[in-house]
Amino acid sequence: MPDPDVMVLDEPASNLDCRSIQILADIIAVWKNNGKTVIIAEHRLNYLKAVADRVIYMEDGQIVEDVPAKQFWNLPVEVIKQRGLRSIVPVTFERVPPLCHGNGILEVKNFHFSYNGVLDLDIPSLSIPAGAVVGIIGNNGTGKTTFARCLCGLERKATGEISIEGEVLNRKKRLKNSYLVMQDVNHQLFTESVEEEVLIGMPGSEEKNRPEAENILKSMDLLPLKELHPLSLSGGQKQRVAVASALSSRKKILVFDEPTSGLDYHHMIEVAENIRQLSAMGKTLFIITHDPELIAECCNFFIFMEMGRIKWSGGWSADNRQRLRDFFSVIQEM
């Protein structure tokens, strides 16, 4: 509105779907054509390939490299990854993560939710292998988070039945057996330290649980921050604290809403590794994400949503792999 000469954006694409990222790239191009200076701090670089003129790479508060963008885009993929940056080439989904089977099937039947008289969620039936890592994908506003909240028992007015391993879970049982990491993790960070945040959800005494909590913090690269207040951390660090709390909860069903929002490549890999470990333990995990690299690392079942309905679902297949390529091609081929 004030029409400044300089625009500074801090990870503007972190929570956007493919369509919105394309709109963002178009807006940046308009600013550039109008003579504005645009400075963007980012890990996800693909959408900037058509508009960036210059790339400044930093480490530990120091400028390590300042090069023309065309020179930077020619760096080898492995160098990009070593620097903790996200892929600048399309994810091909060729490597298929294995499916870790738990005992039985998670089944959803006649699952519905209405808001102000409008049907927001309509899922007649859905079957998912227990122990699967389920990628929930689709554009923003298609009902992914609503589905997650109903699945966890957070929406009182949701109707329908969910069963896992043959046991029917009513809303109260779903609340007891599931854990949701929200997209805005500021809503679920309550304690005075990072360590306390992980300990609070663990049954039993703090002293007994402390070694396990420290192992979880170490796996998430948070151990040096354990005495800090969670709300004093960066966005990416807060995200990892919330994921660490989910790991410590010992719930059967874990739901992550954009768990890699704001994370660089290295920390995305750490989150994916923890998700795979939980799957191997028989947990069923639902991952709401717009992150193709995370999907390629850990997801082995998919739910694609449109307008509160499931357009397609299933595991890795030639058809589903192509569907994923088509969906993410909007940002991967910019």
Report how far residue 167's alpha carbon sits from residue 187's, in angstroms, rounded to the nearest whole number: 31
Q: What pLDDT is recorded for position 92? A: 86
CATH for the stretch 105-332: 3.40.50.300
| Phi–psi pair at 197, nearest 5 degrees | -60, -35
Q: What pLDDT is recorded for position 95? A: 78
Which ranges of 187-304 does DSSP label H, i.e. alpha helix? 194-199, 206-219, 235-248, 265-280, 292-298
Please choose, from the candidates 141, 89, 135, the residue with its C-alpha nearest in 3D space to the C-alpha of residue 255: 135
Q: What pLDDT is recorded for position 330? A: 66
Q: Is 233 left (phi over 0), alpha (psi -120 to 50) or beta?
A: beta
CA distances, 191 to each of 104, 197, 200, 216 (Å)? 37, 6, 8, 17
Superfamily of domain 6-82: P-loop containing nucleotide triphosphate hydrolases (3.40.50.300)
Q: What pLDDT is recorded for position 62? A: 95
Q: What pLDDT is recorded for position 89? A: 84
Q: Is 316 left (phi over 0), alpha (psi -120 to 50) or beta?
A: beta
pLDDT tens digits, one per residue of 279-307: 888 889 999 999 999 999 999 999 999 99
Instruction: Give ranges for CATH 3.40.50.300 in the chain.
Output: 6-82, 105-332
Q: Are 248 and 201 in contact (CB under 8 A)?
A: yes
> H-helix or E-strand containing 123?
strand 118-129
Report how far residue 258's alpha carbon sits from residue 290's, in angstroms, rounded to the nearest whole number: 7
pLDDT tens digits, one per residue of 27-84: 999 999 999 999 999 988 889 998 999 999 999 999 999 999 999 999 998 999 999 9
Q: What pLDDT is recorded for position 282? A: 81
Please choose, from the candidates 260, 266, 224, the residue with its C-alpha nearest in 3D space to the C-alpha of residue 135: 260
Q: Are 77 and 125 in contact (CB under 8 A)?
A: no
What stretches in the chain show pLDDT beneath 70?
99-103, 330-334
pTM of the model: 0.85
